């Protein structure tokens, strides 16, 4: 069998004569502390556009990688944000921008968790500390932000489809430009990625796919595809690329820092070129290569970009590379908060524990769900739980440890997760799908056709509903009321706080049919969870308070959905001081079915004004559901015709910023809600 030259002995033609002294690892520095002051980065400071990388030799590119890594550490400490994935692709980002001609050549980043280095090298270095802040840089690539951001991303597994579309459009127009897609091993588990690869082969498209394999998505990668990638690594061989661009099977050189990935120690037979999935479906495959070795990346990518047809280059990287705490804990350092203002920080950048006793913090809603899951599983052995790669984010760690045989992480495959639950439900068990609101959008056909149409006994625990702050429009769960309530057989619950979340989870679990409990990101109000769990009446709202003067000429009913109840009660206090009115604050609890009898009773009792309040888009939301009922079914409304307004998110995507800033921009903070209610009462 033909043996290729060891990769470290073959450099790209752009390398200089001094490159022989370059360390084989391609990485010079590992850091252990996030700097609090702007580091000295003389070479990085000269890079204003990717064109500035063209004149650098390989040794300078490695120095640039060190400076860029240190700068990203500093910037992350200032702004917070995605962390580990960005540190892991620094060498790859430098190599791509050194070899390609952006923005003429198209670089597409999947998900966008790893695009910070790209932003720095494309003219946004001095703005990086504003990332995720209001009016600052976006958390992900965005076409409106830079000509170098070729495609707006935020959700997983889209890059190959988008890149293929670009390649085919360029070919149709006779334009010779390279299209390179960077996708992680976690994102590659999404079915959309395989649909795109299948079509790329069918179209014989010129497309360069770089598979960044760090054995992680947000959690650890799972499933047969992950095992296949591990097999490619563990074989001890790699498919190298010759000077003419042809695949050559040869022993893989040692890669420092990757020994932890070996899962087996038995001797393996020499594999064949055909022994990988990508080759089998028609891609030209090269790899795996060390994704932190800049000379190696330059050599491989320089040749691979000129190979005709769909090509996949498989590289291995370490999430959090170059920052020792992140390398040791890639899950914990997937994203970080900005450093605290004081200096009481340990070496691993964790805030020192205050000696003063503190009260217990309010629970996150994901923790409430996790507690419910464990509690209910103890009493009901039919409970099974599914997540599409969001074990940590959805609060399922304890459940997965206590009930491993009842926990199913299906990787980044939302459509599969929903239909998997449907299949389970046909066999007499009770599946719960834990999923973010914005990711449930990706399984919408399955939700309609496979679950609701058959009225199967499946519960959806919908996390990250409403505005989510710094992650911006791609992650805002502000459409779920609308796309759920139009589906027959669906029940939709909207808790006001942690206790109600727990009880509504229990209520929907006990209901036989298709249900959803929708709750927000972050912590609640500190409400105590009552046990044993209650079983609320489906479709029954609760009058939380009646404020103001009895028999006042102005009677206002606030029909509030979800966690806006507290804001509504505060606004009511202001209104009764300013107006001679009485305010009924109603916690609706259910978006579907609505408590129509309570609404009619309030109108019959003399309500003169009605306002609906929700952290959701106005179009098609809970307020729209109330309007539809009043206009089409309510006899009481047809008689007295109270004035109505709907308060919610306007018909626009909400830009990133803090959650408080987003609420303010949408008129959903206390001042905004009060102002809109004052306008209603002025009618």
CB neighbour burial string for 538-553, b if at least 16 within 10 angstroms, e if fewer: bbebeebbebbeeebe
Q: What is the mean pLDDT of residues 641-666?
A: 96
Domain membership of residue 44 (yes or no) is: yes
Element (DSSP H or E) covering residue 63: helix 58-79
Domain membership of residue 349 (yes or no) is: no
CATH number of the domain encompassing residue 599: 3.40.50.920
The answer to whether residues 320 and 86 touch, using CB atoms and an 8 Å cutoff, is: no
Domain membership of residue 341 (yes or no) is: no
Length of the chain: 683
313-370 pLDDT per residue, tens: 999 999 889 888 888 887 777 777 777 875 444 444 443 333 344 566 899 999 999 9
Res 222 pLDDT > 70:
no
| Claim to verify: residue 374 and residue 306 sit in the same structural domain | no
| Claim to verify: residue 618 and residue 668 sit in the same structural domain | yes
Q: Residue 510 and residue 531: Cα distance in Å, rounded? A: 16
Q: Residue 492 and residue 621: Cα distance in Å, rounded? A: 12
Q: What is the mean pLDDT of residues 119-148?
A: 92
**Residue 361: count of CB within 10 angstroms of its CB:** 8
Domain membership of residue 358 (yes or no) is: no
- Which residue, of 467, 487, 520, is where some domain finishes? 520
> What's the pTM?
0.85
- Which residue, of 520, 550, 580, is where some domain finishes? 520
Q: Residue 206 and residue 501: Cα distance in Å, rounded? A: 50
Q: Residue 384 and residue 186: Cα distance in Å, rounded? A: 23
Q: What is the pLDDT of the chain when averaged over all its residues?
A: 89
Catalytic site positions:
319, 414, 442
Question: What is the model's pLDDT at position 346?
Answer: 45
Q: Residue 175 and residue 167: Cα distance in Å, rounded? A: 9
| Claim to verify: residue 506 and residue 614 sit in the same structural domain | no
| Claim to verify: residue 76 and residue 178 sit in the same structural domain | yes
Is there a cis peptide before residue 412, judged by omega within 30 degrees of 0? no
| Claim to verify: residue 479 and residue 565 sit in the same structural domain | no
606-625 pLDDT per residue, tens: 999 999 999 999 999 999 99
| Claim to verify: residue 114 and residue 151 sit in the same structural domain | yes
| Claim to verify: residue 370 and residue 318 sit in the same structural domain | no
| Claim to verify: residue 455 and residue 486 sit in the same structural domain | yes
Number of domains in the chain: 3
Q: How confident is the model at residue 256 (pLDDT cuts 50, 70, 90)?
A: low
| Claim to verify: residue 288 and residue 389 sit in the same structural domain | no
| Claim to verify: residue 327 and residue 372 sit in the same structural domain | no
The runs of H, that is alpha helices, within 461-582 are 480-485, 498-510, 565-578
Q: Name the residue with tokens 């539809």.
A: 628
Residue among 573, 674, 668 nearest 623 (CA) = 668
57-75 pLDDT per residue, tens: 999 999 999 999 999 999 8
Domain membership of residue 533 (yes or no) is: no
**Biggest alpha carbon–alpha carbon distance for the chain:** 94
| Claim to verify: residue 560 and residue 469 sit in the same structural domain | no
CATH number of the domain encompassing residue 392: 3.40.50.970
Distance, C-alpha 22 to centroid of its chain: 37
Q: How confident is the model at residue 155 (pLDDT cuts 50, 70, 90)?
A: confident
Is there a cis peptide before residue 532, judged by omega within 30 degrees of 0? yes
- Which residue, of 281, 315, 336, is where some domain finishes? 336
Question: What is the model's pLDDT at position 78?
Answer: 84
Domain membership of residue 548 (yes or no) is: yes
Q: Residue 37 and residue 45: Cα distance in Å, rounded? A: 15
Res 196 pLDDT > 50:
yes
Residue-range definition of the domain harbouring residue 377: 365-520
Question: What is the model's pLDDT at position 13?
Answer: 34
Domain membership of residue 636 (yes or no) is: yes
| Claim to verify: residue 514 and residue 555 sit in the same structural domain | no
Domain membership of residue 641 (yes or no) is: yes
The answer to whether residues 306 and 245 touch, using CB atoms and an 8 Å cutoff, is: yes
């Amino acid at each position: 069998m033909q043996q290729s030259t060891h990769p470290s002995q073959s450099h790209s033609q752009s390398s200089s004569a001094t490159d022989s002294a370059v360390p084989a690892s391609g990485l010079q520095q590992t850091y252990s502390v996030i700097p609090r002051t702007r580091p000295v980065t003389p070479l990085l400071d000269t890079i204003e556009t990717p064109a500035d990388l063209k004149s650098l030799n390989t040794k300078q590119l490695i120095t640039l990688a060190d400076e860029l890594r240190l700068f990203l550490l500093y910037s992350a400490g200032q702004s917070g944000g995605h962390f580990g994935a960005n540190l892991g692709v620094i060498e790859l980002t430098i190599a791509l921008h050194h070899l390609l001609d952006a923005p003429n050549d198209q670089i597409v980043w999947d998900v966008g968790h790893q695009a910070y280095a790209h932003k720095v090298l494309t003219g946004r270095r001095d703005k990086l500390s504003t990332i995720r802040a209001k009016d600052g840089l976006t958390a992900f690539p965005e076409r409106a932000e830079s000509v170098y951001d070729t495609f707006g991303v935020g959700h997983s597994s889209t890059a190959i489809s988008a890149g293929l579309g670009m390649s085919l459009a360029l070919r149709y127009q006779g334009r010779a430009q390279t299209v390179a897609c960077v996708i992680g091993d976690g994102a590659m588990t999404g079915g959309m990625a395989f649909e795109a690869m299948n079509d790329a082969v069918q179209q014989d498209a010129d497309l360069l796919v770089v598979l960044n394999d760090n054995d992680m998505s947000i959690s650890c990668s799972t499933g047969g595809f992950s095992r296949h990638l591990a097999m490619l690594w563990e074989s001890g061989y790699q498919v190298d690329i010759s000077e003419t661009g042809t695949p050559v099977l040869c022993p893989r050189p040692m890669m420092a820092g990757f020994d932890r990935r070996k899962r087996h120690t038995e001797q393996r037979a020499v594999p064949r070129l055909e022994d990988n999935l990508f080759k089998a479906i028609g891609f030209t495959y090269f790899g795996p290569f060390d994704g932190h070795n800049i000379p190696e990346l330059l050599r491989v990518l320089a040749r691979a970009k000129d190979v005709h047809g769909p090509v996949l280059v498989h590289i291995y990287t370490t999430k959090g590379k170059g920052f020792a705490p992140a390398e040791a804990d890639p899950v914990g350092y997937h994203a970080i908060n900005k450093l605290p203002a004081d200096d009481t920080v340990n070496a691993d950048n964790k805030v020192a524990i205050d000696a003063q006793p503190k009260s217990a913090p309010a629970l996150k809603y994901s923790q409430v769900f996790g507690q419910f899951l464990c509690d209910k599983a103890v009493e009901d052995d039919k409970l099974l739980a599914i997540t599409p790669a969001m074990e940590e984010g959805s609060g399922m760690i304890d459940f997965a440890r206590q009930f491993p045989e009842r926990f199913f992480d299906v990787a980044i495959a939302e459509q599969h997760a929903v239909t998997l639950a449907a299949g389970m439900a046909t066999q007499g068990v009770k599946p719960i799908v834990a999923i973010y609101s914005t990711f449930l959008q990706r399984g919408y056909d399955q939700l309609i056709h496979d679950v609701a149409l058959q009225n199967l006994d499946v519960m959806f625990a919908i996390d990250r509903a409403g505005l989510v702050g710094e992650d911006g429009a791609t992650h805002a769960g502000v459409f779920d009321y609308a796309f759920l309530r139009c589906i027959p057989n669906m029940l939709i619950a909207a808790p006001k706080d942690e206790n109600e979340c727990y009880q509504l989870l229990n209520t929907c679990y006990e209901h036989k049919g298709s249900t959803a409990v929708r709750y927000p990101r972050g912590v609640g109000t500190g409400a105590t969870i009552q046990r044993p769990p209650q079983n609320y009446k489906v479709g029954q709202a609760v009058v939380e308070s009646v404020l103001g003067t009895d028999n006042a000429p102005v009677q206002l009913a606030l029909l509030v959905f979800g966690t806006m109840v507290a804001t509504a009660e505060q606004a009511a206090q202001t209104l009764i001081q300013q107006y001679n009115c009485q305010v009924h604050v109603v916690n609706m609890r259910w978006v579907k079915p609505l408590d129509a009898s309570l609404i009619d009773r309030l109108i019959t009792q003399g309500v003169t004004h009605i306002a609906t309040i929700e952290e959701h888009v106005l179009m098609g939301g809970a307020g729209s559901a109330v309007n539809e009922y009043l206009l089409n079914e309510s006899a009481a409304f047809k008689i007295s015709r109270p004035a109505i307004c709907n308060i919610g998110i306007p018909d626009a995507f909400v830009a990133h910023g803090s959650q408080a800033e987003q609420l303010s921009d949408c008129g959903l903070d206390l001042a905004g809600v009060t102002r809109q209610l004052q306008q209603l009462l002025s009618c």
